[in-house]
Amino acid sequence: MKVSLRDAPLKSQVALRLDSGDDGINDRLAALGLRDGVVFAVQQKTASGGRVVKAEQSRIAIGAELSRKLQVEVFE
Amino acid sequence: MNSNAIPQSAVSATSTPGESGRMATPTLALVGVANTGKTTLFNALTSANAAVGNWPGSTVAVSQGVWRVSQTTAFSEAAALPSVLNVLDLPGTYSLDSITPDEQLTRTLLLDTANSPEICVVVVDASRVSHGLYLLSQLREHRIKVMVALTMNDVAAKRNLDIDPIALLNALQVPVVVVDPRRRKGLETFAQAVCETLNAPVPTPRPLRSDASDVLAHDEDRFTWIAAAVKAASKNQDADQVSVSDRIDAWLLAPYIGQIIFLAVLWLVFQLTTSVAAPLQEGLSQLFSGPVSEGAAWALAALGVGESWVEGLIISGLITGVGMVLTFVPLLTLMFALLAILEDSGFLARATVIVDRMMRTIGLPGRAFLPLIVGFGCNVPGISATRILTNSKQRLLTVMLVPLTSCTARLTVFVMVGTVFFGQYAGTAVFLMYLVSVNLVVLFGYLFRQFLFANIPAEPLAIELPPYQLPKLRLTAAATWVRLSDFLKTAGGVIVAAVCAVWLLQSIPLSAESAFGEVAPKDSAYGAIARTLAPAFTPTGFGSWETTAALMVGFVAKEAVISSWAQTYAVPAASGETAAGALGEKIVAAFAESSGGHPGAAAFSFMIFLLIYSPCVATMAAQTREIGKKWTLISFVIYLLMAYTLAVVVFQVGRLLW
């Protein structure tokens, strides 16, 4: 099931699906360890409507706007 | 070269990288992701021998310092390590992909110049080691001497992450050193590794297996290399463990509660920088206007130059100017210390997340909220606080917006004018000025974004949250001292010169009847300039020469507006509620005359003008230091024109109403 990161259930494991989009954003996400296919946990909702995700050893805060744009596949 | 550049004397007598000629002293560049301890390592190596400033020709902040190796370790003599190294603390960056000006500068300094640093140290956080290695993977594709400093090992240990530096070294094929700059541990080993790397030949670039034109394949190649190295170096790994940081963030980043905690922290910063520093500022001010000035007057009298222009220059110029600079010291010390604590603890990264959406409306990241809030206490530390912004364009915009925040110096004038003109409604009038100030920040933020900085990257928020740490006193003190001394060196001279210039104008007589330095303000060059400019303020309702003169002095310090009125009207200075005496009556009478019988409208127009027309000289000095003369001048002209326009509109509309 592919949904936006914002719509993915909290505490779920998801895989990132970078279909297309801004190369600059994709580069930045890749540098943070978030590449196409990477599995991570959606940890919590933030005060500004974004999400905190946990990928490998890193905890990454993603803003509300980007959370709406990013597509993920929910595993559980 | 940018006049706002880092003072080279603070670094060495040799040239900077990027300028012509190979440097005699080797340069070591510290690079890495933000919040990995890179700046902490820089501070540990350079101690107080550092300068923070913009890189020549850019507005990107780069710290430069001198690492006196013999003071760090006894190792240098035995290993033929140079006794001194220049150290650059480059802006935090994830990669060499040039997206922001900061990243472009980092790339240029490391790769695109003939004088790139002799050695590049990638600072990697051991608690998230894979994250910091992407930059290393890109550096390894170039002919550059590179090594890894592995920091935050204590944090990694708490998270049950055990990274074997030897295994990492073998996998990466670059020197790896465990170092704890917060506790100054491992610096000797670090020095040894630097020496070995410096003396070793330049390594052959790591070949990429993929086609050079296939960017995605390149990335995949790099990530495979990183994953293999991390796997080889990780002894045990439990990434799913819930850490203390996770637990704190569950509250701190949560909707509603997170915002309340954030506002409480900001309130505390605001309170500490104003309430705690205020009595210290007052004490220093009294010290300089009292005992220091009296002592100087006594000494000058003993030397036979008492009550002469020499006394005026020394007491009203130099001592007043130096006193003004020093009154900022308590305020700035507190501000810089608090910023260092917030930064070191990991809180600032969370601030970015919490107010991100709100600040994004004016094109700024969440952490820009802090300098703006601090600006309401005093614009000077507010502008200095913009150093926490890593993107230079965002920093430029924030520096230009901070002068619109109504500082406490303006508040003293607002309270005085409000009391004199609006009596029991003074509080409402002052509150209105704060509302105007907040709205102006939003309005100008929007306008600047639309017309001046349309190319500011609208970066979506995607940042790594560093683990929380207890701030270290020594680090806080070192960071505070570096920023404070830098302010005193660069802005202090400008402030003293401006105060002396005002004294000079007030000392020059326009007729032969008075001697130099012994002339009443209205008969001086200063009075003549005010009389010349005053008619221009007729449409604003406050076109008297006395008020024009007060605004001229207000350029030096906003609170000096009141004392200027007192001086020109020849009545004792007062402030706040006590102002409704003889001085208040004279001001009301002057405004009534200059406004044609609409003093209330003129007073409100005056407060609007005072809020916007120009920051004080200390703020402008701080602005110049941060964004250069060009942008300081641009913002000065924009605000002056806007202040005048708004003041005219307010008065012309206001006089129809009351």
Q: Which of A33, A35, A65 sits opposite B460 (nearest CB)?
A: A65
Alpha helices in B114-181 (DSSP H): 129-139, 153-158, 165-172
Picking from A9, A47, A8, A7, the residue whose alpha carbon sits closest to that of residue B249 is A47
Integer CA distances (angstroms), B422 to B281, B308, B373, in order: 29, 42, 27
- CA distances B221 to A26, A31, B94, B137, Å, are 16, 13, 17, 9
Q: Chain B contacts of A50, Cβ < 8 Å? A: 353, 356, 461
Instruction: Provide Rg for chain A, Cα atoms.
Output: 11
pLDDT tens string B30-84: 999 877 888 889 988 887 556 555 555 555 667 888 898 766 655 545 455 677 8
Instruction: Give B-chain residues touching A18 at CB under 8 angstroms.
Output: none
Measure the CA–CA gap between B361 and B357, rounded to whole angstroms. Answer: 7
pTM of the model: 0.68
Minimal Cα–Cα distance from A65 to chain B, Å?
7
Residue of B459 and B399 predicted with greater confidence: B399
B contacts of A27 (beta carbons < 8 Å): 95, 97, 99
Which residue is closest to B260 within chain A, CA to CA?
A47
**A1: distance to nearest CA of chain B, Å?**
24
In chain B, the residue whose alpha carbon lies closest to the alpha carbon of A13 is B240
Highest mean pLDDT among A26-35, B493-502, B602-611: B602-611
Task: Give pLDDT tens digits for B433-453.
Answer: 988 998 999 899 989 988 888
- Our CA-based measurement puts residue B466 at a distance from the nearest CA of chain A, in whole angstroms, of 8
Summarised one tens digit per residue, pLDDT across range B138-176 is 999 988 999 999 998 888 887 777 889 999 999 999 999
Q: What DSSP string describes B50-119?
A: EEEEEPTTS--EEEEEEEEHHHH-SHHHHHT--SEEEEEEPPP-S-S---SHHHHHHHIIIIISTT--SE
Q: Beta-strand (E) ranges in B489-595?
A: none
Any idea where the domains of chain A sit in the sequence?
2-74
pLDDT range class, residue B532, cuts 50, 70, 90:
very high
Q: What is the pLDDT of residues B264-275, one digit of tens each?
A: 887 887 677 767
| pLDDT value of position B594 | 94
Q: How far is the C-alpha of B280 from the C-alpha of B431, rounded, in Å?
A: 26
B20: pLDDT confidence band, cut at 50, 70 and 90?
very low
Is the model's pLDDT at B317 over the cut of 90? no
Range with the poorest average pLDDT among A56-65, B16-25, B475-484, B491-500: B16-25
Residues in chain A: 76
Note whether A48 contacts B366, CB cutoff 8 Å. Answer: yes
B572 or B198, greater pLDDT? B198
Task: Tell me what percent of chain B is helix, strand and coil, each rounded to the nearest 5.
Answer: 65, 10, 30
* Residues of chain A neighbouring B99 (CB-CB closer than 8 A): 24, 27-28
From first to last of the 76 residues of chain A, give the pLDDT tens digit: 789 999 999 999 999 998 766 667 777 787 777 888 889 999 999 988 899 999 877 889 999 989 999 999 998 6
Question: Is A64 in contact with B464 (Cβ distance < 8 A)?
Answer: no
- Flag the least confident range among A12-26, B15-29, B457-471: B15-29
Q: How many CB atoms lie within 10 A of CB B313?
A: 17
- At B83 the pLDDT is 79
DSSP for residue B460: P
* Confidence at B404, pLDDT banded by 50, 70, 90: very high
Per mean pLDDT, which range of B143-147, B424-428, B479-483 is the poorest? B479-483
- Confidence (pLDDT) at B599: 94
Residue B621 vs residue B243, higher pLDDT: B621
Q: Which residues of A touch B130 (CB under 8 A)?
A: 33, 56-58
Q: How confident is the model at residue B542 (pLDDT cuts 50, 70, 90)?
A: very high
With an 8 Å Cβ cutoff, the interface of chain A facing chain B consists of 24-25, 27-35, 43-50, 52, 54, 56-66, 69
Q: Which DSSP category does B291 fall into? A: I
Of B253, B366, B459, the CB nearest to A52: B253
pLDDT surpassing 80 at residue B23: no
Query: Using a CB-CB distance cutoff of 8 angstroms, which residues of chain A are in contact with residue B353?
Result: 46-48, 50, 52, 61, 63
pLDDT at position B578? 47
CATH superfamily of the A2-74 domain: Ferrous iron transport protein A (FeoA) (2.30.30.90)
